[in-house]
Amino acid sequence: MAKAPVLTPQAQDFPRWYQDVISKAELADNGPVRGTMVIRPWGYALWERMQREVDDRIKAAGAQNAYFPLFIPQSYLQREADHVEGFAPELAVVTYAGGKELEEPIVVRPTSETIINSFFSKWVQSYRDLPMLLNNWSNVVRWELRPRIFLRTTEFLWQEGHTCHATEADARAYARRVLDEVYAEFMENVLAVPVVKGLKTAQERFAGAVNSLSCEAMMRDGKALQMGTSHDLGQNFAKAFDVQYLSSSGQQEYAWQTSWGVSTRMVGGLIMCHGDDAGLRVPPALSSIQVVVMVVRDSDGVRAAVDRLVDELHTSAIRVEVDDRVDTPFGRRAVDWELKGVPLRVEVGPRDLAEGTVTVVRRIPGTKTSVTLAEVARDVTGALVEDQQALYDEALARREDATIDVSTVDDAAQAAATGWARIPWSTLGVEGETLLATQAISVRCLIRADGGVPESADEPDLIAVVGRSY
C-alpha cells in the first residue's frame, strides 16, 4: 500500500478525520453562504451513482419521475398544522423579489408534500387514477444551525417520492415496499452498509405522518445515521388539500398517501461507515471507477500494454480509468487514489511488464500482489466481488459488536456512549425516551423481537434501538 496521507486518526478525533477526508479526497467544499456546500467532481460522481441505482429501484417499484417548483406559497404549509409546526424553525422565506415586497411570502422548498398535494387535488379524480406514484429529484433548503458537509447542510440534494392510494392497506404496503425493495436493498447491496429497519416513535416521526419507517446505520464511531425514511401519511394531507377521488361504488373518498426520501446524507454515511485512516473506501458496486490502471513509466511498450488491458477490462464490464500522469510522482498519484477509495489499482511498469506481470493493489483489504497479464481480468473481477462483500461483513460485525441488550434506562445511556443499546420498549416507554433525550440519546427505531418492522408502536414485545446520532 502507498504511504498513508496525513489524516487525523479516527481514534484521535473522528469529526476532524471526517472533515480531513472530505477535503483531501476532494469530495466537497464549504459554500459561500453558511451551511451550503460545493460538491466536487469525485463527490458528485458518488452521488450520481447513488442516484442511478436508487432511481432504477424506484422505477422498478412503479413510480415515475416528475418535477415540482422550488418556491411554495407560505399559505400551503399552513394547511397541515403538524407539518408547518415541525418545519417552522428550518424555513427560508422570500418576502422581497422583483424590486418590491411580495403580497404573499414564498417558502423555499423544505420538502414537497404541500406543493405536490396541491396538484394531486387536480390530478386525482377517480379510482382509475390510483395508485398515483410520483418521485421528484431536487434540492431542498432547511436552515441548519449546526451544519456539517453531507450530513446536515442548509441546502442538500435528494429524491422524495409521493403517492396516492385507494386504501389505507395499499398505502401502508407501498411505504414498506419502498423501505425494503428500494432503500434497504440499495444500501446493503450497493453501499455495503448494513441497516436496521424499524418504526419511528411518535417523538421521532415525520411532521404530519401517521407512521414513519427508517433505515438506521451505525458509523465507525458507534453513532447512528438515519439513511432514509418512508412515511405513511394516512389521509392528513389529503384532507388538508382536498385530494378526493370517486370510488368504484360512486362515493367521494379521501386518498391515502405516502412520502419517502433519501439524500446526499448517504455520501456522509458512506464515508463514516467505510473510511479508514488512509481515506475513503468505496464499495466496488458503487464506485464510478472500479479499477485505475496506472502507468508507472511510459516506456518499453507500457502504454500499448495498458491500452490492451483497459480494453479487456471494459469487455468484462468493469469501470476503468487510466492514470498516465507520469509527470507527477508515482507515490503521490497512488496516495491520491487511496484517498479517493478506488477499489483496485493495477500498476503497469516496464520492469514488471518484461516479466509478463502487473501489480494489483486492493484498497479494501490492503493487499498488493503480482498477477500475470493473462489473469488480470479474471482476478480483478473476483476481487471486486470479494471486496464488496468484505466491506459489508466488516460493517455488520462492527455493528453487532457495538450493540448491547440492556434492561434499564441507565444501562441504555451507558451503552450509547460507544454504540447502540436494545431495550424493551415497554421498559423504556415515552418517559424513558424523554429522559434519554436530555442526554442527546434517541430511540432510532422500534423493531420486533425477531428483527421485523412493526405496524405500530402499540404492538407487544417491541424492542427500542437506542443510540447517539448524527
DSSP 218-278: E-TTS-EEEEEEEEEEETHHHHHTT-EEE-TTS-EEE-EEEEEEEETHHHHHHHHHH-BTT
**Residue 84 pLDDT exceeds 80:** no
Alpha helix locations (H) across 316-403?
330-340, 350-354, 376-401
**Residue 279 pLDDT exceeds 60:** yes
Average pLDDT over residues 89-97: 93
Q: Same domain, yes or no, for 228 and 180? A: yes
Instruction: Report pLDDT for 6.
Output: 79
Alpha helix locations (H) across 402-465?
409-415, 425-437
Element (H, E) at 215: strand 211-218
Average pLDDT over residues 113-130: 96
Average pLDDT over residues 6-26: 96
Q: Residue 80 belongs to a domain with what CATH number? A: 3.30.930.10
**Structural domains of the chain, count:** 3
Handedness of CA 282, 286, 287, 291 (dihedral sign): positive
Instruction: Report pLDDT for 446.
Output: 98
Among 388, 436, 376, 393, smallest CA distance to 411 is for 436
Instruction: Report pLDDT for 3.
Output: 53
Residue 2 lies in a domain: no
Average pLDDT over residues 175-184: 98
Instruction: Report pLDDT for 79.
Output: 84
Q: Tell me the per-residue pLDDT of 288-344, one tens digit each, with 9 for 90 and over.
A: 999 999 999 988 899 999 999 999 999 999 999 999 999 999 999 999 999 999 999
Average pLDDT over residues 127-155: 96
Residue 76 lies in a domain: yes
**Cβ 391 vs Cβ 192: under 8 Å:** yes
**Residue 5 pLDDT exceeds 70:** no
Q: Same domain, yes or no, for 415 and 301? A: no
Average pLDDT over residues 66-95: 86
Query: pLDDT exceeding 90 applies to what percent of the chain?
Result: 94
Q: Which of 220, 240, 274 is the last residue of a domain?
A: 274
**pLDDT grade, residue 83 (50/70/90)?**
low
Instruction: For residue 39, give Cα distances in angstroms to 181, 268, 388, 463.
Output: 28, 12, 25, 38
Instruction: Report pLDDT for 317.
Output: 96
**pLDDT grade, residue 441 (50/70/90)?**
very high
Instruction: For residue 4, give Cα distances in angstroms to 18, 29, 126.
Output: 15, 22, 62
Q: Which three cell numbers stand for residue 19?
A: 472533515
Q: Same domain, yes or no, for 187 and 224? A: yes
Q: Tell me the per-residue pLDDT of 391-430, one tens digit each, with 9 for 90 and over.
A: 999 999 999 999 999 999 999 999 999 999 999 999 999 9
DSSP class of residue 3?
A: P
Domain extent for 332: 291-387
Average pLDDT over residues 20-42: 97
Q: Same domain, yes or no, for 162 and 198? A: yes
Residue 300 lies in a domain: yes
Instruction: For residue 145, give Cα distances in angstroms to 8, 113, 131, 152.
Output: 25, 23, 38, 9
Q: Same domain, yes or no, for 270 and 302? A: no
Element (H, E) at 204: none
Q: Same domain, yes or no, for 142 and 48? A: yes
Q: Tell me the per-residue pLDDT of 212-233, one tens digit each, with 9 for 90 and over.
A: 999 999 999 999 999 999 999 9
Element (H, E) at 73: strand 71-73
Instruction: For residue 146, give Cα distances in angstroms to 36, 74, 143, 271, 439.
Output: 11, 25, 9, 19, 18
Q: Residue 334 belongs to a domain with what CATH number? A: 3.40.50.800
Q: Same domain, yes or no, for 21 and 118? A: yes
Residue 372 lies in a domain: yes
Q: Same domain, yes or no, for 85 and 18? A: yes
